Amino acid sequence: MMAAPEDTRTEEARTETAVYVYGIVPADVEAEPDATGVGDPPSGVDTVRHEDIAALVSEVRIDRPLGRPEDLEAHAHLLDGAAAVVPVLPLKFGAVVTDTDAVTDELLAPHHDEFRTALDQVEGKAQYVVKGRYDESAVLQEILSENEDAARLRDEIREVSEDAGRDARIALGELVSNAVTAKRDADTATVVEAVRSVTDDVRVRPPTHDLDAVHLAVLIKLDAEEDLGSALSPVADDWSERVELRVVGPMAAYDFVAAPAPDEAEA
């Protein structure tokens, strides 16, 4: 990635734009010539270098708020694409500073040593997310077969009107919710144990849906993706009728290392 050309715009033009920061990479990283970032229209991606580290950046207009789905996608796409080939410390979405000098003065220079250490930690690695979701019918049948109270309430509801069975429905809903939580904890532990043969770098993520069975982030070597799949294969086969298990990645190591946003760096 080439350094930005000298800025010859007028002061008035410069005040209409700011610099968006995506993440931290080694200073020798070069982006694809057609790489684009956030904004409407999106600007090309560049680097701001300081010693042996650099920030991936692009120019954004300050009169057009960020936050569109396209912006979120562009942010993740750039970082995840980079993470597949080089170490990356991702910043949170929406990190904006006034200009490239601020990138150096507020972010790179004061945090050089910790950024360099963190980049070394993720050298040759990337994050993958392991996610599983219960088949609603299958997990409900499991709960009813294992919990006598739940089965009794289900039968009670069948025999009365909707109004008469209101309390039973509420009670059954609570039982099912608690049972799903317990199953999620147990099934998450099963997957954590399965991936231990590949990595000890595991983070349990909160569920994003009531029927989530597993939601993990794992940090593995880039050449270990097949090993991860092999480790999960027996679990996926065993759960074929009750949980849809999938792996997403490679992506930036959001759950393991992350650069502070410029305003956090100043705190």
The Cα 126–Cα 74 span in angstroms is 18
- What's the rounded Cα separation, in Å, for the pair 68 and 39? 9
4: DSSP letter: P
pLDDT the model gives residue 125: 95
Residue that the structure tokens 């990479």 belong to: 25
Give the pLDDT band of residue 2 (cuts 50, 70, 90). Answer: very low
Where are the strands (E) in the chain, listed by range?
17-26, 45-50, 53-61, 89-90, 96-97, 125-134, 202-204, 212-221, 243-251
**pLDDT at residue 258, rounded to an integer:** 72
pLDDT band at 50 (very low <50, low <70, confident <90, very high): very high
Closest of 234, 233, 189, 230 to residue 213, by C-alpha: 189
pLDDT digits (tens, 9 = 90+) for 211-225: 999 999 999 999 999
257 vs 156, higher pLDDT: 257
Pairing of strands 125-134, 243-251: antiparallel
- Residue-level pLDDT at 82: 92
Percent of the chain topping pLDDT 70: 89
Structure confidence at residue 1 as a pLDDT band (50, 70, 90): very low
Q: Name the burial class of residue 180, with classes exposed (0-12), middle (13-18) and buried (19+) by CB atoms within 10 angstroms of its CB.
A: buried
Q: Across all residues in the chain, what is the average pLDDT?
A: 87
Residues 141-192: pLDDT tens digits? 998 888 888 788 777 777 766 766 677 778 888 888 899 999 999 999 999 9
Q: Contact at 8 Å (CB) between 66 and 38?
A: yes
In sequence order, which residues have a C-beta less than 8 Å from that of residue 52 and are 6 or more positions away? 26, 27, 116
Q: What is the DSSP letter of 44?
A: B
What's the confidence (pLDDT) of residue 51? 93
- Least confident among 55-59, 131-135, 156-160: 156-160
Task: Please give the distance of CA 42 from its chain centroid, rounded to a whole number.
Answer: 22
Domain ranges for the chain, please list them: 11-123, 126-251
pLDDT band at 94 (very low <50, low <70, confident <90, very high): confident
- pLDDT score recorded for residue 163: 67
- Mean per-residue pLDDT, 104-127: 94
CATH class of 126-251: alpha beta
- Point out the least confidently predicted range of 40-44, 110-114, 253-257: 40-44
Angle between helices 148-158 and 136-146 (to 10 degrees): 110
Task: Judge whether 90 and 258 are in contact, CB under 8 Å.
Answer: yes
Q: Which tokens belong to 51?
A: 């010693």
